[in-house]
Amino acid sequence: MSSEINKEIGIVDSNVIIYPYNGYGDQDLIRLLIERHKVNAIIHFTDPRYWIWLYQMAAEIRQQVPIFYYHIWDDLPAPHYNRPYYESCDLLMGISKQSDNIARMVMGEGNYVNIDEEVSEEDVCRPIPKTCYIPHGVNETKFFPIDRKDMRVVTMRKQLFGDVDPKFVLFYNNRNVRRKMTSDAIIAFKLFHDDMMSSGCNDDVRFVLHTQPQDEHGTDLEAVIQTLCPDIADKILITNTRLSTEDLNILYNCCDTVINIGSNEGWGLSSTEALMTGRTLINNVTGGLQDQCRFEDEDGNWIKFTPEIATNHTGQYTKCGDWVYPIFPSSINLQGSIPTPYIFDDRCDIREVGKAIKYWYKTTPEYRKECGLKGREWATGDEAGFTSQKMADRAHKAIERVLSVWTPPKRFHIYNTQQEVEKRKNKQTGLGIRL
């Protein structure tokens, strides 16, 4: 790994070590790693429930090194049940605007320092979590537009479609799990196809899904297609072959529009890869997918989430980038479990999804290319910064700033529990729900 990293980024002294582990680690392993490698900080990411064992030893760890969390949360209401996890960290790097705002809402005003804003070094030195927004990045030199006449694209399209050269290809690249709404995307494609055929259009479309045909956390897609879409089964292709980054980039370039309608989506990586390859998008307006739509506020600025406006899934703002057809959820339902008592499920109407597919189908290849390139230009620019280099630069800046002033917190605090309960009640900033 070290030699590959050195080759990739042009340095000579990287030292990358992977410890294979079935799971997310344990307390003894962390103690061993801190001692063996003299680490400066611990960085972790994904759902905090995988790291409860880490937070349980946060007081011990933070006497030696800080804990940094590249955090993600899919949806409102603000998860106040996550507060102990957020408070166990020294730096919270939000993967999306919504995730970043949610962490601040949960901790409450005065209990964090937003280092994206102009703040004094005195504030940065305060022993409370620091927050910032660091969107997910993709290497734009690995994912990029390729001309449709390029032999790499021609060859792969031949492998996919045989002698047919479809006018329009829809692409889905997600895992086959319930929250990704894979079956909904298939049924929406059928609705689009039926409407198109009734209008007398040529039968020149395909839907490519790069996913597992069956998944215990999803469904049997082949059964869905054969039973509910038998008349267009030959127009829906499922590819489950593991692809190199190069081949995945070619696959994106074989298609026209990428669909991502998950009902809970912390970021939506396939949409970012689509932006980098100059593809147009169909996005559900939820979670991190909102970031990639670039919704504008009344002043033409990229929207900023606050406790008062914590999401745009209700459609307060509709103007967005030319590269995306956004679909606002028609149903916002409250789901939950014992560890996560409440979270919204933002579901699209499949008929609206069908209309979105038809919209991009009706446009010309030239227009789709123009819109897609606008998306790539914005995604690689300074405002969005959805590149791996900009992601790394932002993370480096935030980590260095916190490391430069970090000191171990007090070993323990003494609280009047009743006063603390009342104080926390008063400082909660709500759940972010608006009617």
Residue 435 has pLDDT above 70, yes or no: no
Distance separating alpha carbons of residues 218 and 234, to the nearest angstrom: 22
Q: In this predicted structure, what is the pLDDT of residue 423?
A: 72
Residue 428: other Cβ atoms inside 10 A: 16
- pLDDT one-digit tens code per residue, 216-269: 999 999 999 999 999 999 999 999 999 999 999 999 999 999 999 999 999 999
- The type of residue at 304 is K
Distance separating alpha carbons of residues 434 and 26, to the nearest angstrom: 40
Residue 58 has pLDDT above 90, yes or no: yes
> pLDDT averaged over the chain?
94
The residue length of the chain stands at: 435
Residue 424 has pLDDT above 80, yes or no: no
Measured in whole angstroms, the distance separating CA 294 from the mean position of its chain's CA atoms is 14
Q: In this predicted structure, what is the pLDDT of residue 51?
A: 97
- H-helix or E-strand containing 168? strand 168-172
* 104 in Cβ contact with 432 (< 8 Å): no
Q: In this predicted structure, what is the pLDDT of residue 418?
A: 83
Tokens of 326: 């956004």
- The type of residue at 197 is M
Task: Report the Cα–Cα distance between both ends of the chain, in Å, rounded.
Answer: 51
Which of 229-233, 381-385, 391-395, 408-412 is predicted least confidently? 408-412
- Label residue 416 by pLDDT band (50, 70, 90): confident
Q: Give one word for 294, left, alpha or beta, with left for phi > 0 and alpha for psi -120 to 50.
A: left
Distance separating alpha carbons of residues 247 and 143, to the nearest angstrom: 10
Residue 235: other Cβ atoms inside 10 A: 21
Kindly compute the dihedral angle of the four CA atoms of residues 115, 120, 121, 123, in this order, to the nearest 10 degrees: -70
- pLDDT one-digit tens code per residue, 301-323: 999 999 999 999 999 999 999 99
- pLDDT one-digit tens code per residue, 123-144: 999 999 999 999 999 999 999 9
Measured in whole angstroms, the distance separating CA 113 from the mean position of its chain's CA atoms is 24
Collect all residues with Cβ–Cβ distance below 8 Å to 160 and sequence separation of at least 6: 206, 208, 237, 239, 254
Q: In this predicted structure, what is the pLDDT of residue 429?
A: 61
- Label residue 296 by pLDDT band (50, 70, 90): very high
Residue 95 has pLDDT above 70, yes or no: yes
Distance separating alpha carbons of residues 169 and 165, to the nearest angstrom: 10
Tokens of 313: 């899934």
Q: Angle at Cα 46 formed by Cα 45 and Cα 49, nearest 5°? A: 110
- Quick one: 191 exposed, middle or buried, by C-beta within 10 A (0-12, 13-18, 19+)? middle
Q: In this predicted structure, what is the pLDDT of residue 427?
A: 62
Residue 110 has pLDDT above 90, yes or no: yes
Q: In this predicted structure, what is the pLDDT of residue 421?
A: 75
- H-helix or E-strand containing 332? strand 331-335
- Helix pair angle (151-161, 245-253), 10° resolution: 80
Average pLDDT for 192-200:
87
Collect all residues with Cβ–Cβ distance below 8 Å to 354 and sequence separation of at least 6: 188, 189, 191, 192, 195
Residue 23 has pLDDT above 70, yes or no: yes
Residue labelled with tokens 């692809």: 243
- pLDDT one-digit tens code per residue, 179-193: 999 999 999 999 999
Residue labelled with tokens 């055929």: 197
Q: In this predicted structure, what is the pLDDT of residue 199?
A: 78
Please provide residue 60's backbone torsions phi and psi, each rounded to the nearest 5 degrees.
-70, -50
- pLDDT one-digit tens code per residue, 137-177: 999 999 999 999 999 999 999 999 999 999 999 999 999 99
The alpha-carbon radius of gyration of the chain (Å, integer) is: 23
Tokens of 375: 């998306």
Average pLDDT for 347-360:
98
Q: In this predicted structure, what is the pLDDT of residue 60?
A: 96
Residue 72 has pLDDT above 90, yes or no: yes
- Label residue 434 by pLDDT band (50, 70, 90): confident
Residue 434: other Cβ atoms inside 10 A: 12
DSSP letter (8 states) at residue 340 = S
Q: In this predicted structure, what is the pLDDT of residue 338?
A: 94
Alpha helices in 2-71 (DSSP H): 2-9, 27-37, 52-55, 58-61
